[in-house]
Structure 1
């Protein structure tokens, strides 16, 4: 059902996009990068958070780590990740297939600026072996996402002269 809800959402919001289903699992960032022949950073991972009674999603580059101080400043308090048992109930997608498309209920979506380093990113598409190739700006547009800066800077980024 989850893959179908993503296909239905994309058919109406972005009919130019095709859901890619692979034989191999893409349930983790490393597996997804291997399955799609890209570096882990190009995978757009969707994380599920809670702050008090507010549930929301953050989509970030696959190799990014949340910065707790930035997240607290951005969202107005200490956020906690949802438990594995809560994720599928609230998003409608299994862990490893969570994405901002075709959600079981409307949830706020935030895209981390780390995604803008790529022309195209690859988020999951509602199943542990499904994904879509999409420009980050387009993903934010069709999900109504707000851009935020809540991830740590990349460690291998060299300082600009």
Structure 2
């Protein structure tokens, strides 16, 4: 159901042709990079948090992780991920297909600067089998993101 919402959303924005449906799951950064045919860093992973009691979505490069201190500086509290069983109710997508497209009203979308180093990134498209090919600038425009933030740090090798 979520993938259809995303397809309709992107169609309205003139970007439905950017969706790719994969034969294998893209439920992790590693799986997504294999299916898309890019580096793990170019996968735009989407994490969801509660900040001030409201849902906040941060889209970031696949090779970084959230830094608690940076997150707190941006959002004025420590990062608390939305529990898996509440993601769909609060965001509008099931875990594995969470993406910054066609989210519920009131969800703040932020883009981490870690994606700016790429010409193209690949967020999920509403299911564990769909991805969307966009430039970081297009991602900002099509999602109506609140802006760019710097809340991540590189993952340690082997992490």
Report the TM-score when normalising by structure 1.
0.91
Q: What are the residue-to-residue correspondences of 1:5-154 with 2, within 5 Å?
A: 5-15=5-15, 17-145=17-145, 146-153=147-154
What stretches of structure 2 of length at least 5 have no aligned partner? Answer: none
Report the TM-score when normalising by structure 2.
0.92
Moved more, 61-70 or 6-15: 6-15
The question of whether the paired residues in 2 share the 8 Å contact of 1:30 and 1:40 is answered with yes
1:154 Cα deviation from its structure 2 partner = 6.3
Q: CA RMSD of the aligned region, Å? A: 1.5
The question of whether the paired residues in 2 share the 8 Å contact of 1:112 and 1:147 is answered with yes
1:136 and 1:66 map into 2 onto residues whose CA distance is 19
Give the structure 2 partner of residue 159 of structure 1: none
2:156 and 2:127 map into 1 onto residues whose CA distance is 31
**Which of structure 1's runs of 4+ aligned residues deviate more than 6 A?**
none
User: What SS does structure 1 have at the residue aligned with 2:69?
Assistant: helix
What stretches of structure 1 of length at least 5 have no aligned partner? Answer: 157-161
User: What SS does structure 1 have at the residue aligned with 2:3?
Assistant: helix
